[in-house]
Structure 1
Amino acid sequence: MNIPHRALTAADQELIDLARAVVDANTDGEDGIHTVGAAVRAADGSTHIGINVYHFTGGPCAELVALGNARASGAHRLTTIVAVGNRGRGVIGPCGKDRQVLLDYHPEIRVILPTAHGIAGVPIKDLMPYATAWSPDGGSTAYGDDASSART
C-alpha cells in the first residue's frame, strides 16, 4: 500500500524527543518491555505527554493518555502525535483502537510512525481505509457520510 507521507520537520523531531524523554524517565522497572511514551502537539503549539499503564489485563495506551492530558489542559485541536517505545525501540505506530480514537476525535491529525520510507508523518485518514464512525443514534456509518461527524 502506498500511503502518502511527509518528511519530518524540526517540530516533529522535538515531539519525538519529548516522547522519548517521558518513556526513558518512566519505564516500568527492569522488565518494563511494554512501556511506551507519547507526545502530542496542539494547534497552539503546546505539547502534552502520556505514558501507557501496562497491565496483563490491558490498560490505556500512551497515545490515549496523551490525548486525555491534552484535553485536561484545554487543548482541543491536536495536529501531530507520536509514540516511542522504551529500551531504544524508537518510534512505533498506534494500535487499531488508538487509530480509531484519533480519527474520531482528531480527523486532521498527523501520526508520526515508521513507514517504508523511514519515520514520517502520515494523516490519520490514510491509516484507516474503510473507517467507520460510531454514534449512539446512528450506530456505525462509513466515515465521511453526512451522518458521521468527528468529535471536537
Structure 2
Amino acid sequence: MNATPHQLHYRELADDEKALVELARQIIEATTDAPDGGDGVHTMGAAVLAANGTMHAGVNFYHFTGGPCAELVAFGAARAAGAVDPQVVVAVGNEGRGIKNPCGRCRQVMADNYPQLRVIVDTPNGPRSVSARELLPLSFDWAAEQA
C-alpha cells in the first residue's frame, strides 16, 4: 500500500499530548454555554503545550462575523502567560464531540506563525499529531511575500 507524504509524518500521541487533549476537553466541558444538544457562543476548547512544558487553554468565542477559534484564544493565553514557543495544539468540541481538526484560517495562522508546531488531529486511526505545515500543503507563504 502506498502512503501519501502526509501519512508518513503522522505520529501517535505522547503522554503529554494525551494530557493536552484532556485539558482541552475539561476546559470546554467546564465553560460551555450551550444547552444539551443546542448551540452556544462557547462550544470548542483548545490547549497549547509550550516548549517549557506548560499547558495553556482557551475557548472559542463564536460570532457570525468570525469570532476567534479556540486555538487562537489558547495561543493568546499562552503568550500572555509568557510561553513564546508553542509546540503542540489541540481543539476539542463540547458535549463529548472529541478532537476537532482546525479550520482553514487556523491552519494558515499556525503555518505562518508557528512552523515548528504539531497539531493533534482526528484521523481514521485515532488521534495523531502532524506538523502545521503538512495541514496546509502548497499554502500561501506570507513570510516570503514580505521580503
How does the TM-score come out when normalised to structure 2? 0.87
- Residue aligned with 2:11, SS: coil
Who is 2:72 aligned against? 64
Q: Which runs of 5+ in 1 are unaligned?
A: 140-146, 148-152
Who is 1:150 aligned against? none
Match of 1:91 among 83, 96, 99: 99
Q: Which has the higher strand share?
A: 1
- Residue aligned with 1:114, SS: strand
Given residue 72 of structure 1, which amino acid in structure 2 is its aligned partner?
Answer: A
Give the number of equivalent residue pairs: 139
- Is 1:131–2:147 an aligned residue pair? no
Q: Alpha-carbon deviation of 1:76?
A: 1.0
Given residue 29 of structure 2, which amino acid in structure 1 is its aligned partner?
Answer: D
Q: Alpha-carbon deviation of 1:58?
A: 2.1
Over aligned residue pairs, what C-alpha RMSD do you find?
A: 1.8
Given residue 9 of structure 1, which amino acid in structure 2 is its aligned partner?
Answer: A
Q: Residues of 2 paired with 1:97 and 1:65: CA distance? A: 13
Q: Map 1:1-152 to 2 at 5 A.
A: 2=4, 3=6, 4-30=9-35, 31-32=38-39, 35-134=43-142, 138=145, 147=147
Q: Which has the higher helix share?
A: 2
How does the TM-score come out when normalised to structure 1? 0.85
Q: Which runs of 5+ in 2 are unaligned?
A: none
Q: Alpha-carbon deviation of 1:116?
A: 2.8
Q: Alpha-carbon deviation of 1:25?
A: 0.5
- Residue aligned with 2:73, SS: helix
Q: Residue 43 of structure 2 contacts residue 94 of structure 2 at CA under 8 Å; is this kept in 1?
A: yes
